[in-house]
Amino acid sequence: MLHERSIRGRKPFTGARTPTGQLTRHNKWGFLDRYMDRIIFAISVFHAFGHQWPCQIIYHPRKCRGFGLSDGEGCECFWHSISKLIAYLRVCGYHQRLYTLDKQVEHAHAAILMRLGQWLLRCSQHCHSKRSVAEDILAACGYTEEFLRAQWEAQVTAQTKPLPRRSRTQGKMAVEEAIRLCKTRDIHKRRVEELEAIMLDPTTDADMFVDAEMHLDGARTALERASVNVLAKERALGVDSHAELLRLVNSPFIAARMNARAVKTRLREKLRARKFELDRLEHSFHKQVNDEKVNAHTESSVRRRDPSIQQLARNYNTLCDQMAQLIQDHKAPRAAQCPEKILLKGLFALDVDDNIWQDVGLNDDPSDMAPPPWLCDDKRRLQHEYRSMREWFAEEWKVINVVLRSTEDESLRYQVQQRRRDLCSLCAVWKKSVQSLDVGRDPLPPWGPTQQEILEVNLASVVASFNEDADDFGRGDHLTEEDDEHDDAFEDEADMEESDLGFVETLDAVDLADSFRSVSIDDNLDLEFSLY
């Protein structure tokens, strides 16, 4: 029992940092068979939430089979409860470290053992309710479970594929892909002709006729899809016939364009990863000594990769110059476009309107084809967000009205009425903004405020803005030029004082939040049981 608790206690310290080779060697001889599930869960939890999006879609606990509704919060809370021991455990002996962790886990075990039955009942009820909701959503979406799983696998494959690399045979591979699509189209065309010949033959028996009629629509659909793919690929390569396609096998322009596309894709991903790593440093303050060391190491590591990113941009610009020269020498396909070069100045800013996001002249994918189904759910997602907004506001409005009816304290009633007016103003703004949205056919909860209340709020806002403008205009008639300068200086000084005061208040609020963020084992029983 003591050994088992020691393994549990050391899991947050060593489980997420154990090299894969060590786990493989221990698992080979059966040393960790009893604890392998827990170690895998701990590695998934600590790996998913601090890494990039590919880690999220693979290691997230909700996306791993066998983890159930666990989200890793229990591991995080347990880790937080014993994180204060890190400095002490670094300097103590091996046996003292095991003893300390054993006693810490034993204390947590004793604290949560009394209410274990209540926790199991509550989790069981929550599991059944979530399963019922999931089954209802699955039945209402109109797709089978196999289709949804296939789309998820396609999304994972698309978002975790390795970055493309430069190659001398990139152009040849693109042309060969177009030739393969042409052969696929020819196969579908022959299949359609065979089925049509069977149906037109008067000597065909009934069984063959019915079978051909059943498969003819699917064959025509496949032929149409293959033809669209071939036309799009030929249009991207700038050819109109199969003979011209064969002449492009060794085209230097196609090779340069494919290499430029690969370089730009790698450059874009490296810039995005760099911004992701530095974002944590830009929004951090009140750092402790250990945090400052980690942040300094992270920033230094990111800065060391800047020259390689700049070199990728230079290589891309060189390929763009080659493509421009080939177009000028008439060695490129018809209607070929040269992509724009990337400016090295401001490369790391990564603005939304930078040329780094534009693939003009590089993208071989058909622009007029519909995206895959796993990319077509944005409209449904927006409808879900709109429903969440309506449900939140309806609940807030209901609660504020209940509090207003049940309270008798005049000072509290004033605050509640003020909150009610604020909600009514928010409703007026939201209704005006979302009145043109497609919200689907599902029933939605009512907003709550009446039209009269919304009208009164709108009138009050117009009158308030008019009075503010009138006051400003009246004050301006009696001011001289010296008064204006004096008032401007006074307002600047007041703005600076207000800014400093706001900054101090923000720091105080962060300190207060940090003090309340210290989660104890007793206050997080529901999350802690997921470890067991």
Q: List C-alpha distances in Å: 66 to 69, 129, 146, 321, 446.
A: 9, 18, 18, 53, 40
Measured distance CA(104)–CA(101) in Å, rounded: 5
Contact, 454 vs 427, CB < 8 A? yes
Whole-angstrom CA distances from 451 to 271, 391, 513, 531 are 50, 19, 40, 52
pLDDT of residue 458: 78
Establish if 163 belongs to a structural domain: no
pTM value is 0.53
What per-residue confidence (pLDDT) applies to 30? 73
Exposure of 431 in the CB half-sphere (CA atoms within 13 A) = 17
338 and 411 in a common domain: no
Whether 329 and 397 map to the same domain: the answer is no
Concatenated DSSP letters for 398-455?
Answer: HHHHHHHHH---HHHHHHHHHHHHHHHHHHHHHHHHSTTS---SS------S-HHHHH
Write out the two tokens for 196: 């049509």
The answer on 273 and 221 residing in a single domain is no
What are the tens digits of pLDDT across the range 366-406?
555 567 777 777 777 888 888 888 899 899 999 989 988 88
Token pair recorded at residue 420: 């009610």
Same domain, 332 and 404: no
Nearest of 384, 336, 343 to residue 360 by alpha carbon: 336
Tokens for 448?
């709550």
User: pLDDT higher for 121 or 75?
Assistant: 121
Q: What pLDDT sits at residue 100?
A: 92
| Owning domain of residue 392 | 379-478
| Claim to verify: residue 270 and residue 237 sit in the same structural domain | no
Domain count for the chain, please give it: 4
- Rounded-to-integer distance, Cα 116 and Cα 123, Å: 10
Say whether both 61 and 141 belong to one domain. yes
* Residue 369 sits in the same domain as residue 394: no
- Per-residue pLDDT, 376: 75
Longest dimension (CA), the chain: 106
> What pLDDT was estimated at residue 361?
66
Domain for residue 227, yes or no?
Answer: yes
Among 344, 375, 406, the domain-final residue is: 375
- Residue 309 sits in the same domain as residue 455: no
Looking at the structure, tell me whether residues 314 and 199 fall in a common domain: no
Is 13 in the same domain as 145? yes
**Would you state the pLDDT for residue 99?**
93
User: Does residue 400 form part of some domain?
Assistant: yes
Same domain membership, residue 29 and residue 71: yes
367 and 385 together in one domain: no
pLDDT class of 293 with cuts at 50, 70, 90? low
Which of 444, 460, 478 is where one domain is finished? Answer: 478
